């Protein structure tokens, strides 16, 4: 017998003992009251048969009779179940008889303190027994140990209701996140009036995933959605589930959704969902049963409710890539919103939000402050303002001066709480020229999709990005289209070299992608004249990046060398074209880079305006 089994058996013996004690106790009370009940006791007093009596703190009434009973008994004991009743009923009588000398002495504790504990004791014991049984059941079911400290965490979900202050959070409190707010507006509309959407048969997302680095306002946005719609907000953090025992996390999830349905329309907010939502079956040693059960329960709950229940689940994470793919399927978190670092304008607006109600001296220039804080999150900026206020208060100033803000900025940059990285100016410049290079080349190339947005705000691994959107769907990729793609991908590197005289590793991904396209053109699509219309592809549509070539290729070393040299030729030709374009458009390149350094993001309209302005001033 194992040690654990023995301790479990012991617990069962203990349990049986408790039950036996309970019943015998009840039984005893029964027999005692059969011998003497309250009615009889009362009779004895009324008939003036009691000479003296005492009631002890356990409400045991001991009466001495004036005369011996027929059976020779002179002292009677009775346990009062309701001392208040006795007191209300007989106190006056006892006082009167005592005055008359019928009762010679008596003593009882002050009234009006019912001994409820004693009354409830059997029930409490039984409850405790049931609790122990449940505890043992769980204990055995999982075959592991569970400390008693865990018991306290049992039961309902530790959801947090919003404080009064949080309830008033609206989109106005979230600055510089216009796109995010726009995307969430639909959820707000739905929660405000679910029926309207249901009548139209509109499909509303059940789950929206907010993805972005810490401190960028994901939690704030979720609260603001609830505030805007004026609905309930139930929140729970994925990290609450970590290190719990089997079944507990799952029951909390169940509970959370039950509560949400009761308060519907409502928002369920799951912060740090990656703590539970990590891909299943990747745990080393398979010791993640609890997390998997919790995740499974979450999936079950999300599938279980329908749109007309008026519940929308928002979740936040800074790592969408580690999430179990099952979470991202349709009907679950099928919509993702990226909540990124704010650009200059965004930072200025966030500073304004947090400076509201704080006395700023006249020399304060929030725009200037915003300019110098590239890489700061909303949380960092809030922190900055608070630090500045503290500094000013310490110096007994009545206003926060620009100096305080500058000093606070340094403090936040150096501070231990700063998780994101501050972007140095030279790096911003490099990124600005790099992205401007992509954009200008894309714009000039005849077969490239038009530029839709440029940004030098870091996002994930990328220092910046230039997005182009096709005007129509393409069923086939033409040779010229693919060539133009390669030229545009090289635009970043070429611009760095042209304008800064140096090149960086920031273009390595561009170059990989360009090479992959070139290789596809040569080896898969038969687009090279030298090699001819031959495909060396196995036919599967493999990943673009040239993994295909290394594995089980069906051609000779000589052909491989020929392919390599052709890929090289395609890239060189593209690079030359790219350089020529940038040299010709140098003034536009400079103008776009300058705009980016000033504003960090650039929409299509602004891009076209800057481009055209540079062109006309060159004439
Ligand atoms: P996350 O959940 O993304 O880690 P939070 O929502 O917890 O970030 O943000 C922390 C704090 O930073 C917020 O309470 C808010 O004061 C401030 N903050 C973050 N982003 C913004 C923003 N866009 N506008 C105003 N304040 C912001
Ligand atoms: Mg948060
Ligand atoms: Zn690039």
Residue found under tokens 């004690």: 21
- Which ligand 1 atom sits nearest the alpha carbon of residue 349? 24
Burial class (CB in 10 A: 0-12, 13-18, 19+), 285: exposed
Calpha distance 381→68 (Å, rounded): 91
Asked if the model's pLDDT at residue 262 lies above 70, the reply is: yes
Beta strand ranges found along 486-542 (DSSP E): none
User: Which residue minimizes the CA distance to atom 6 of ligand 1?
Assistant: 217
For β-strands 105-107 and 50-55, DSSP reports them as: parallel
φ and ψ at 4, to 5 degrees? -65, -40
The DSSP code for 529 is T
Averaged pLDDT of the chain: 82
Q: What percent of the chain has pLDDT over 70?
A: 82
Radius of gyration of the chain (CA): 39
Specify the pLDDT at position 544.
44
pLDDT of residue 423 exceeding 80: yes
Q: Give the pLDDT band of residue 287 (cuts 50, 70, 90).
A: low
Closest by Cα among 490, 473, 451, 469 to 579: 490
pTM of the complete model: 0.65
Those residues whose C-beta lies under 8 Å from the C-beta of residue 350, and which sit 6 or more positions away, are 175, 176, 342, 378, 381, 382
Cα–Cα distance for residue pair 467/326, rounded to 1 Å = 29
Q: Which residue do the tokens 């609260």 mark?
A: 223
Confidence at residue 150, expressed as pLDDT on a 0 to 100 scale:
39
Q: Residue 455 in 3-state DSSP?
A: strand
Q: What pLDDT, on the 0 to 100 scale, is given for residue 416?
A: 66
Complete DSSP assignment for 308-332:
GG-EEEEEEES-STTB-GGGGSTTS
Tokens linked to 324: 């179990």
In the predicted model, is pLDDT for residue 76 greater than 70? Answer: yes
pLDDT at 417: 62
> Residues 577, 486: contact at Cβ < 8 Å?
no
The answer to whether the bond into 265 is cis (omega within 30° of 0) is yes
Q: Which residues of 45-54 are buried (b: 16+ CB within 10 A; e: fewer)?
A: beeeebbbbe
pLDDT value, residue 1: 45
> Measured from the CB, is residue 350 less than 6 Å from ligand 1?
yes
In terms of Cα–Cα distance, which of 380, 377, 385, 381 is closest to 341?
377
Least confident of 91-100, 282-291, 580-589: 282-291
Q: Which residue is catalytic, options 301, 409, 435, 566?
A: 435
Task: Report the pLDDT value the prediction gives residue 47, as an integer from 0 to 100.
Answer: 83
Can you give the pLDDT at residue 541?
Answer: 47
Protein residue with its CA nearest to atom 5 in ligand 1: 217
Residues in the chain: 619
**382 CB under 6 A from ligand 1?**
yes
Report angle CA 159, 165, 170 to the nearest 5 degrees: 95
218 CB within 6 A, ligand 1:
yes
E-state strands within 184-228 = 207-211
pLDDT for position 67? 85
CA–CA separation, 571 vs 581, rounded Å?
15
Whether residue 148 is predicted with pLDDT greater than 50 in this model: the reply is: no
Q: Residue 146 pLDDT > 60, yes or no?
A: no
Strand-pair category, 266-271 with 75-79:
unpaired
107, β-bridge pairs: 54
Q: Which residues contact 201 (CB under 8 A, 6 or more apart)?
A: none
pLDDT higher than threshold 50 for residue 34: no
What pLDDT, on a 0 to 100 scale, did the predictor assign at position 132?
73
Shortest-distance ligand to the CA of residue 218: 1
Backbone φ and ψ of 314, nearest 5°? -105, 145
Give the residue from 589, 568, 565 showing the smallest Cα distance to 486. 568
- Answer for the pair 536, 563: CB distance below 8 angstroms, yes or no: yes
Atom of ligand 1 nearest to the CA of 177: 23
Range with lowest mean pLDDT among 40-44, 151-155, 212-216, 302-306: 151-155
For the residues 9-38, what does the mean pLDDT come to? 65
Indicate whether 212 pLDDT > 80.
Answer: yes
What is the pLDDT averaged over residues 221-241?
89
Distance of alpha carbon 16 from alpha carbon 83, whole angstroms:
32
- Ligand 1 contact via 316 beta carbon (within 6 Å): yes
Q: Give residue 437 CA to ligand 3 midpoint distance, Å.
A: 8
Q: At residue 314, does pLDDT exceed 80? A: yes
Query: What would the 3-class secondary structure string for 338-400 be?
Result: ECCCCCHHHHHHHHHHHHCCCCECCCCCHHHHHHCCCCCCHHHHHHHHHHHHHHHHHCCCCCE
Mean pLDDT in residue range 175-189: 92
pLDDT at 525 over 80: yes
What is the rounded average pLDDT of the residues 533-558? 59
Q: What does the pLDDT average to over 104-112?
A: 74
Phi, psi of 212 (to 5 degrees): 170, 165
pLDDT in tens, 426-460: 999 999 999 999 999 999 998 888 999 999 998 87
- The whole-number pLDDT of residue 410 equals 85
Ligand nearest to the CA of 165: 1
CB neighbours (10 Å) of residue 518? 28
The predicted pLDDT at position 306 comes to: 75
If DSSP codes are grouped into helix, strand and coil, which group holds residue 292?
A: helix
Nearest CA to ligand 1 atom 14: 220
Packing angle, helices 586-599 and 557-584, rounded to 10? 80
Range of weakest confidence among 337-346, 380-389, 514-523, 530-539:
530-539
Distance 498 CA to ligand 3 centre (A): 15
- More reliable by pLDDT, 271 or 18: 271
Q: Is position 272 annotated as part of the catalytic site?
A: no
User: Does pLDDT of 130 surpass 80?
Assistant: no
Hey, what are 556's tokens?
A: 């000779």
The answer to whether the CB of 380 is under 6 A from ligand 1 is no
Query: How sure is the predictor about 166, in pLDDT bands with cuts at 50, 70 and 90?
Result: low
Q: Please check the confidence at residue 252 and state whether its pLDDT lies above 80.
A: yes
| Mean pLDDT on 13-18 | 77
Q: Ligand 1 pocket, 444 CB below 6 A?
A: no
Q: Cα–Cα distance between 312 and 206 in angstroms, integer?
A: 5
**Of 539 and 518, the one with more pLDDT:** 518
Tell me the pLDDT band of 288, cut-offs 50, 70 and 90.
Answer: low
> pLDDT grade, residue 145 (50/70/90)?
very low
CB 496 within 8 A of CB 484: no
User: How many angstroms separate the alpha carbon of residue 606 from the centre of ligand 3?
Assistant: 20
The predicted model gives 295-302 an average pLDDT of 89
* Joined tokens for residue 433: 């020229």
pLDDT band for position 599 (cuts 50, 70, 90): very high
């Amino acid at each position: 017998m194992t040690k654990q089994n023995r301790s479990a058996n012991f617990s069962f013996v203990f349990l049986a003992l408790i039950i036996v004690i309970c019943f015998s106790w009840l039984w005893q009370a029964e027999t005692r009251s059969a011998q003497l009940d309250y009615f009889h006791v009362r009779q004895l007093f009324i008939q003036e048969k009691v000479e003296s009596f005492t009631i002890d703190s356990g409400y045991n009434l001991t009466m001495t009779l004036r005369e011996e009973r027929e059976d020779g008994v002179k002292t009677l004991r009775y346990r009062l179940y309701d001392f208040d009743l006795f007191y209300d009923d007989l106190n006056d009588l006892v006082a009167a008889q005592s005055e008359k000398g019928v009762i010679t002495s008596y003593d009882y504790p002050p009234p009006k303190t019912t001994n409820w504990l004693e009354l409830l004791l059997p029930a409490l014991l039984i409850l405790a027994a049931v609790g122990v049984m449940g505890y043992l059941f769980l204990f055995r079911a999982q075959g592991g140990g569970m400390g008693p400290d865990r018991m306290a965490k049992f039961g309902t979900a530790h959801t947090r209701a919003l404080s009064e202050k949080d309830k008033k959070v609206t989109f106005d409190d979230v600055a510089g996140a216009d796109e995010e707010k726009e995307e969430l507006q639909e959820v707000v509309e739905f929660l405000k009036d679910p029926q309207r959407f249901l009548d139209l048969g509109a499909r509303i997302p059940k789950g929206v995933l907010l993805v972005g680095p810490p401190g960028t306002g994901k939690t704030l946005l979720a609260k603001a959605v609830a505030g805007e719609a004026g609905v309930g907000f139930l929140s729970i953090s994925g990290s609450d589930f970590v290190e719990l025992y089997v079944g507990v996390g799952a029951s909390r999830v169940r509970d959370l959704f039950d509560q949400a349905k009761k308060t519907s329309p409502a928002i369920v907010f799951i912060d740090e969902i990656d703590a539970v939502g990590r891909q299943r079956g990747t745990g080393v040693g398979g010791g993640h049963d609890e997390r998997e059960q919790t995740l499974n329960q979450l999936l079950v709950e999300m599938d279980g409710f329908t749109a007309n229940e008026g519940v929308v689940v928002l979740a936040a994470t800074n790592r969408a890539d580690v999430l179990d793919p099952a979470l991202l399927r349709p009907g679950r978190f099928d919509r993702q919103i990226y909540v990124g670092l704010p650009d200059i304008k965004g930072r200025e607006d966030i500073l304004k939000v947090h400076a509201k109600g704080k006395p700023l001296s006249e020399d304060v220039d929030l725009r200037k402050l915003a300019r110098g804080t590239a890489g700061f999150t909303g949380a960092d900026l809030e922190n900055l303002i608070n630090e500045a206020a503290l500094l000013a208060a310490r110096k007994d100033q009545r206003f926060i001066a620009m100096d305080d803000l500058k000093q606070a900025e340094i403090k936040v940059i150096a501070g231990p709480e700063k998780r994101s990285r501050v972007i140095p100016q030279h790096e911003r410049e490099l990124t600005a020229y790099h992205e401007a290079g992509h954009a200008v080349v894309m714009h000039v190339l005849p077969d490239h999709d038009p530029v839709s947005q440029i940004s030098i705000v870091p996002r994930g691994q990328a220092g910046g990005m230039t997005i182009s959107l096709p005007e129509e769907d393409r069923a086939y990729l033409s040779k010229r289209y693919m060539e133009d793609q390669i030229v545009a991908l090289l635009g970043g590197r070429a611009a760095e070299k042209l304008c800064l005289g140096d090149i960086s590793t920031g273009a390595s991904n561009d170059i990989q992608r360009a090479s992959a396209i070139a290789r596809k053109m040569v080896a898969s699509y038969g687009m090279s004249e030298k090699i001819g219309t031959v495909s060396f592809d196995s036919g599967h549509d493999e990943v673009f990046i040239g993994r295909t070539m290394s594995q089980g290729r069906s051609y000779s070393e000589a052909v491989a060398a020929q392919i390599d040299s052709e890929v090289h030729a395609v890239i060189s030709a593209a690079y030359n074209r790219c350089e020529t374009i940038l040299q010709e458009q140098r003034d536009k390149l400079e103008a776009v880079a300058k705009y980016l350094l000033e504003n960090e993001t650039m929409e299509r309209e602004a891009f076209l305006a800057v481009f055209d302005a540079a062109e006309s001033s060159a004439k």
